[in-house]
Structure 1
């Protein structure tokens, strides 16, 4: 018996499961289709080139691209604990401040303005 089941151990799923587990007496199950992120290519920036296919991704490709001679481009969607955050070449994107502010001011997402979330991105 679980109080919460989180499907997907990517960045968001892992963070959500971690926060839910802070609730007293809550039983949380985190389901991830892939293994632990122990592959050495995950832990070196250049390793992303090796992560575009193989056992740690789902093997997705884009639709044929008409301007690229109908090539299908690999679309790396991780299948590993940590998800895309594990195979992203140790790069993160902070996002556009205007998007955060719109969520807070126009969409009713209190606490999601850029000023509110910036401290979570800044490493001290």
Structure 2
């Protein structure tokens, strides 16, 4: 593969990588390469919430990371499932989605992070959502 023919190379097709690739490729003059280590997200268990239990240890779509030994947990390690498929961890989380607490965003803004207040980020959440049940 000759990567010099691309304007942008994005490694990881998780939520952020997919959105970034979509936005960058909207410019027809730019060539974008999106790389993902895992397979497509067409696995049946990704499409249904109950499938999360099947994906929890599936090495085909889950990196199955283990944390370092934690002194506060008697030196046990913590399991950290992370998606290895199109959509990344969002594809293996049982279809759970949440925006976060509006007060957290406002606190980030108030700490000097301009553009991170709730009223600033809410339009971007709405733009990325496909809510079919009413209010947004």
Unaligned runs of 5+ in 2: none
1:23 maps to what in 2?
27
**1:16-70 superposed Cα distances (whole Å, 9 cap, x missing partner):** 0000001231000000001100111101111111111121111212334567676
CA contact (8 A) 1:17 1:30 kept: yes
How many residue pairs get matched?
123
Q: Is 1:10 equivalent to 2:14 in the alignment?
A: yes
Unaligned runs of 5+ in 1: none
1:114 maps to what in 2?
118
Residue pairs, 1:1-124, within 5 angstroms: 1-54=5-58, 55-64=60-69, 71-110=76-115, 112-119=116-123, 120-121=125-126, 123=131
TM-score (norm 1): 0.83
- Structure 1 stretches of 4+ with a deviation exceeding 4 A read 64-71
